[in-house]
Structure 1
């Protein structure tokens, strides 16, 4: 079933490539919904508070799981993530949000963020996701680092035992959706930025989850 979902994600990603390439105005149209009276509606004390929570939550989750693993390895607890589970979590976080998103795409895409474009009071012209010809030079809009990190929470969700796994996966998906919407409300990213950040991360997580399941099947 995991492989079928992975195939569906790959097909969906191809469709999204085509949709946002053929209709780049979707990004501008949806970004404009968050722009009112000369500013993006997410900006402010409340928005900053929620952004801090959303930013920190995946790392707190990872820290808690690492502590649980250490407690198991040192004999202080009977249950906790295995070494292979910890490797799965760390590798997917490093390769998805870490290397692919923040290390590569955000540095080479040159796409200005919505708040940096002329359509929303900024100095630069709008660029579609596939242009790579924008004026941004570092930490650019494509793709969203925070949406990718939120999408990574699918990895720990998949480690939850089967009775609770569907609820954990649903929570991870809702958290990703909320993080993406929050970043759009800040004028920090377009819909294509958060969509591809999530899709790329989900694909990486599922690829390594297939590896994890092959090795850990006797324990489940």
Structure 2
């Protein structure tokens, strides 16, 4: 089922590439829904508090897994993630939100954030996601780092035992949706920014999960030629 989901997500990503490229006004239209009276509606103390929560929660979750793994190794608890699970969690966070999103795309896209564009009171011109020709110099709008990190919570959700896994995955998806919605309401990202951030991360997580599910090779066994 995970492999089928991976293929479906890949097809959906390609399809959405075309949709947002052909109709870039979708981004402006959705961003406009969050802009009222000259400001984006999430700007303020309450929005700042929620943004802090959504930003910190994935890292706190990873920390809980690391502490539990350490406690298991020290004999403090009987159940907990093994080394393979920790590699899966750390690698997906590093490769997705870390390297691909914050290390590469946000630094080379040059796409101004909604709050930085003339359509919403900023100084710069709106750029479609595929343009890579905007005036933003670094830490730009495409794609959303916070939405990508939120989407990473799918990784720990997939490690939940089968009876709870469906609920954990649903919670990860809802958390991603809430984070993406807040970032748009904050004026920090367009719909395409948060959508592709989540899809790219989901693809990396599901791809790595294929490796995680594969039984480790017994010690001394040579790989097949």
TM-score range, shorter chain: over 0.9
Structure 1 equivalent of residue 11 of structure 2: 11
Residues 55-66 of structure 1 correspond to what in structure 2 (within 5 A)? 55-66=55-66
Q: Does 1:73 align with 2:101?
A: no
- TM-score (norm. length: structure 2): 0.95
Structure 1 equivalent of residue 165 of structure 2: 165
1:215: how far off? Answer: 2.5
Report the Cα distance in structure 1 between the residues aligned to 2:18 and 2:100, rounded to whole angstroms. Answer: 21
Structure 2 equivalent of residue 213 of structure 1: 213
Report the Cα distance in structure 2 between the residues aligned to 1:137 and 1:207, rounded to whole angstroms. Answer: 32
Where does structure 1 differ by over 2 angstroms across 4 or more consecutive aligned residues?
none
1:85: how far off? Answer: 0.1
Report the Cα distance in structure 2 between the residues aligned to 1:87 and 1:49, rounded to whole angstroms. Answer: 31
Structure 2 equivalent of residue 48 of structure 1: 48
Structure 1 equivalent of residue 21 of structure 2: 21
Structure 1 equivalent of residue 139 of structure 2: 139
Q: Does 1:108 align with 2:93?
A: no
1:147: how far off? Answer: 0.1
Report the Cα distance in structure 2 between the residues aligned to 1:124 and 1:91, rounded to whole angstroms. Answer: 36
Aligned pair count? 216
- TM-score (norm. length: structure 1): 0.98
Q: Mind listing any 5+ residue stretches in structure 1 that lack a counterpart? A: none
User: What secondary structure sits across from 1:215 in the alignment?
Assistant: coil
User: What secondary structure sits across from 2:78 in the alignment?
Assistant: coil
1:96: how far off? Answer: 0.1
User: What secondary structure sits across from 2:215 in the alignment?
Assistant: helix
Q: Does 1:2 align with 2:2?
A: yes
1:139: how far off? Answer: 0.1
**Which protein shows a greater Rg?**
2
